């Protein structure tokens, strides 16, 4: 009998197939004592296992490339953390086996992260995965992970570690469903990059029996258990129609009546550029520069290294627009040379622009490198600061750009509610705004973007979030300046129409989402988008807003 479940759709598409479950977690190793003379040997075993796991994560990242590579490199750094390794060796020195020392040391570190306001919940999941890989290697057992199957299937898991998600084979894994996670979790972001339909934050997903046939709608978040022949045919027909519309859609982003909405790509480094170009991106709306700094958390990359990396991206979009976000460190992206180590709540502490203003030499080097990288290129470079709170922040950043001799537009990201509320004041200092809806939702609703339990508050359809977007867009229009969206909200085709109706002037997203958004925007006029936006803002919940917009656009 067909039943319907609902989670959070995070990656477009339809998947119909049998359920396969992720392997179970590594068992806790026994707490047995070893003789003192074996301690040195056990410490060596632990070091070898750590290095092997770190090397494996880096190799997986090199194979995957793009966003996945940056996530996995960060995990490898986590495995090699010197303080963590020192704790492992201390525990072994007083009698623990290598596997037990690793298990207990990681547990202690995990508790520290979990107690830091739970902002680092996403890093806790990554830490657990690193621990499991090291312990499995020490125990000599296979690492739990993606099931071995010759037939395509839908993967079910409590959550997916980046190392597993990054190398999913779309030919075998038709889609996946997780109990944890949210729209901006690592699994969601990587699923969109892979083009694999995915639903997260589905309570009880693990109770679906192995071999059960389910249909997954990655757009709506609906799961149909044992779907009828009629339901399967309906979903397959809708998927085919969507594919045909994507194939027919090309060129710049625009509504059906010709209102231009440039569709840009979010990139995390040169490795993401080919997919963006292939998808027809009109430029880059968010060039994350953290990948350069995560290579070595103890010191900033040289100016020469930065120039080469920036130029590789800038050269790919001649005559296009490339918006670079300067280093956004802190919170879940700590850097030893930049980030305070003793903050009680890193999410509300010294992160983003605050870190850079405390370390002006790091900011100056980055801005100088960007200035040199753009020389002689016809690209339209724009540079923006993360975590701008007020006009003083915006002025400090603009002043730093001028002092570095940067010939580019200077902008501010709107990720803090105060920036949306005072957007017009901020625009007196900078030339454009870019809305980071992931963090803006997190700070508006006090809801950690990595915690599945509060995922409904991370839904970008929340009317309060739409109100803040509208305030920012209205301020930009009044000042004659631009206001784009570079958060995950832009990757939702229906929401892209609403954002356009709110007055947003460009949309930036993962490359895989660009064809979906382009095809959907082309179906509606600007007036229809504006009516849908008004209907969504008049709603009282995210679900009501989504339905209201859909009703307007469908003409019902």
61-94: b (≥16 Cβ within 10 Å) or e: beebbbbbbbbbbbbbbbbbbeebbebbbebbee
522-540: b (≥16 Cβ within 10 Å) or e: bebebebbbbbbbbbbebe
Q: DSSP character for 266? A: E
String of DSSP letters for 131-167: HHHHHHHHHT-PPP-SPP-SS-EEEEES---HHHHHT
170-196: b (≥16 Cβ within 10 Å) or e: eebbbbbbbbbbbbbbbbbbbbbbbbb
214, containing H or E segment: strand 213-217
d(CA 323, CA 284): 6
Structure tokens at 378: 């016809």
Structure tokens at 347: 């999410």
177 contacts 216 by C-beta, under 8 angstroms: yes
d(CA 549, CA 527): 13
The CA radius of gyration of the chain, in Å to the nearest whole number, is 24
Phi, psi (rounded to 5 degrees) for 348: -110, 20
Query: Is 483 one of the annotated active-site residues of the chain?
Result: no
Residue of 12, 186, 359, 483 marked catalytic: 186
7 contacts 221 by C-beta, under 8 angstroms: yes
Residue of 12, 359, 483, 486 marked catalytic: 486
Query: Is 486 one of the annotated active-site residues of the chain?
Result: yes
- Residues 6 or more apart whose Cβ sits within 8 Å of residue 331: 119, 120, 346, 347, 349, 351
Q: Tokens 């902008």 label which residue?
A: 411
540 contacts 307 by C-beta, under 8 angstroms: no
Question: Between β-strands 380-385 and 482-485, what pairing exists: parallel, antiparallel or unpaired?
Answer: unpaired
Give the closest residue to 500 by CA, choosing from 542, 531, 468, 462.
531
User: Cβ atoms within 10 A of the Cβ of 359, count?
Assistant: 19
With H, G, I as helix, E, B as strand and everything else as coil, classify residue 492: coil
d(CA 393, CA 20): 50
d(CA 58, CA 161): 14
Active-site residues: which are they?
A: 186, 486
């Amino acid at each position: 009998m067909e039943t319907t479940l609902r989670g959070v759709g995070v990656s477009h598409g339809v998947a119909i197939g049998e359920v396969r479950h992720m392997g179970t977690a590594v068992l806790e190793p026994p707490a047995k004592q070893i003789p003192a003379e074996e301690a040195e040997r056990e410490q060596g075993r632990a070091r070898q296992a750590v290095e092997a796991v770190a090397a494996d994560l880096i190799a997986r990242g090199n194979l995957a490339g793009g966003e996945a590579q940056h996530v996995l490199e960060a995990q490898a750094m986590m495995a090699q953390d010197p303080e963590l390794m020192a704790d492992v060796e201390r525990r072994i020195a007083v009698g623990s086996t290598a596997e037990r020392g690793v298990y207990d040391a990681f547990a202690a570190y995990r508790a520290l992260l979990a107690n830091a306001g739970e902002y680092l919940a996403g890093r806790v999941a990554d830490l657990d995965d690193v621990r499991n890989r090291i312990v499995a290697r020490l125990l000599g057992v296979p690492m739990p992970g993606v099931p071995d199957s010759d037939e395509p299937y839908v993967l079910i898991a409590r959550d997916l570690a980046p190392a597993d998600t990054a190398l999913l084979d779309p030919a075998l894994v038709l889609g996946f469903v997780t109990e944890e996670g949210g729209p901006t979790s690592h699994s969601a972001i990587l699923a969109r990059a892979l083009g694999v339909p995915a639903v997260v934050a589905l309570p009880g997903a693990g109770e679906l029996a192995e071999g059960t046939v389910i249909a997954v709608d990655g757009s709506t978040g609906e799961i149909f258990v044992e779907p009828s022949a009629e339901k399967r045919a309906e979903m397959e027909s809708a998927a085919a129609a969507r594919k045909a519309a994507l194939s027919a859609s090309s060129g710049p982003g625009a509504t059906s009546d010709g209102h231009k909405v440039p569709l840009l790509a979010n990139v995390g480094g040169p490795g993401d550029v080919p997919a963006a170009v292939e998808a027809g991106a009109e430029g880059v709306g968010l060039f994350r520069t953290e990948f350069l700094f995560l290579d070595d958390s103890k010191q900033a990359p040289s100016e020469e290294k930065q120039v080469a990396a920036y130029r590789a991206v800038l050269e790919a979009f001649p005559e296009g627009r490339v918006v670079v976000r300067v280093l956004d460190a802190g919170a879940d992206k700590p850097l030893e040379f930049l980030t305070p180590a003793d903050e009680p709540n890193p999410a509300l502490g010294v992160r983003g622009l605050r870190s850079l203003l405390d370390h002006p030499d790091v900011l100056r080097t980055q801005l100088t490198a960007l200035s040199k990288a753009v020389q002689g290129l016809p690209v339209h470079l724009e540079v923006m600061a993360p975590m701008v709170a007020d006009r003083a922040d915006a002025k400090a950043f603009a002043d730093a750009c001028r002092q570095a001799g940067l010939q580019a537009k200077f902008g501010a990201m709107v990720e803090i509610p105060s920036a949306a509320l005072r957007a017009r004041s901020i625009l007196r200092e900078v030339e454009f705004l870019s809305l980071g809806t992931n963090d803006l939702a997190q700070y508006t609703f006090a809801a950690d973007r990595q915690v599945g339990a509060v995922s409904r508050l991370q839904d970008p359809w929340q009317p309060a979030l739409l109100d803040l977007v509208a305030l920012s867009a209205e301020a930009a229009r009044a000042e004659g300046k631009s206001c784009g969206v570079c958060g995950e909200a832009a990757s939702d085709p229906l929401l892209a129409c609403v954002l356009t109706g709110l007055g947003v002037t460009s949309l930036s997203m993962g490359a895989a989402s660009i064809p979906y958004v382009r095809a959907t925007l082309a179906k509606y006029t600007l007036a229809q988008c504006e009516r849908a936006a008004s209907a969504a803002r008049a709603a009282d919940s995210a679900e009501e807003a989504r339905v209201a917009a859909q009703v307007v656009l469908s003409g019902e």
